[in-house]
């Protein structure tokens, strides 16, 4: 299971690296062509914008894994140990329900937009809107993979910085 998780996280990371690499290449080529020839690529801005959307939704799960999203821990810190675990379990269940709801909403949006095309690239908008259900599905998977450790001890997966424990990050700042 750990090996599959590692492959999944690595694939998610490489997906983001490819998108992040493509964005400056497209924008850079557009700028170069504009100054060298006086003509721009008509689809460059649109492509970069849609890649940014995919990168945002695709990267949310990786940020969740390492505790990269905003968190207010005042209530959790005020509770005793058992209360903290119950609160974290409720948070996981609430997030799971929200993420699953957003997957269904995203699928509905993508289906509605399948007959409209993007202005410059003439792609169905459903390709752009598909980032939403894909991103929230990734959030569901990442949440399920970290849920047990998060509920038990309030820890996230180690991102390689050695600061995967909430207590390490939050304890130093009060």
Please state, for a pLDDT cut of 90, what percent of the chain lies above it.
78
Residue 93 inside a domain? The answer is: yes
For residue 49, pLDDT beyond 60: yes
Tens of pLDDT, residue by residue over 68-85, are: 888 888 888 899 989 999
Which H/E stretch holds residue 149? helix 131-153
Residue 3 inside a domain? The answer is: no
- Our count of domains for the chain comes to 1
- Helix axis angle for 131-153 and 2-37, nearest 10°, is 140
| pTM score, whole prediction | 0.85
Residue 61 inside a domain? The answer is: yes
54: how many CB neighbours lie within 10 A of its CB? 20
In this predicted structure, what is the pLDDT of residue 157? 72
What is the spatial distance between Cα 61 and Cα 146, in angstroms, rounded to a whole number? 11
Residue 131 inside a domain? The answer is: yes
Q: Residue 42 — pLDDT band, cuts 50, 70, 90?
A: very high
In this predicted structure, what is the pLDDT of residue 44? 96
Tens of pLDDT, residue by residue over 126-154, are: 999 999 999 999 999 999 999 999 999 88
Residue 138 inside a domain? The answer is: yes
CA 81, 87, 90, 94 torsion: positive or negative?
negative
For residue 168, pLDDT beyond 60: no
Q: Residue 167 — pLDDT band, cuts 50, 70, 90?
A: very low
What is the spatial distance between Cα 73 and Cα 49, in angstroms, rounded to a whole number? 34
Q: What is the mean pLDDT of residues 105-114?
A: 96
């Amino acid at each position: 299971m750990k090996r599959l998780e590692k492959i999944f996280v690595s694939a998610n990371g490489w997906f983001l690296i490819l998108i992040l690499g493509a964005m400056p290449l497209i924008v850079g080529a557009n700028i170069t062509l504009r100054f060298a020839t006086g003509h721009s690529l008509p689809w460059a801005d649109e492509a970069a914008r849609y890649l940014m959307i995919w990168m945002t939704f695709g990267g949310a799960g990786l940020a969740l894994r390492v505790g990269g999203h905003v968190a207010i821990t005042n209530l959790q810190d005020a509770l005793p140990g058992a209360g903290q675990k119950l609160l974290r379990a409720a948070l996981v269940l609430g997030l799971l329900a929200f993420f699953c709801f957003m997957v269904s909403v995203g699928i509905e949006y993508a289906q509605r937009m399948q007959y409209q095309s993007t202005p410059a690239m003439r792609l169905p908008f459903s390709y752009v809107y598909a980032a939403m259900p894909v991103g929230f599905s990734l959030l569901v998977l990442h949440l399920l993979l970290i849920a047990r450790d998060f509920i038990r001890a309030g820890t996230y997966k180690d991102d390689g910085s050695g600061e995967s424990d909430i207590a390490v990050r939050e304890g130093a700042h009060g």
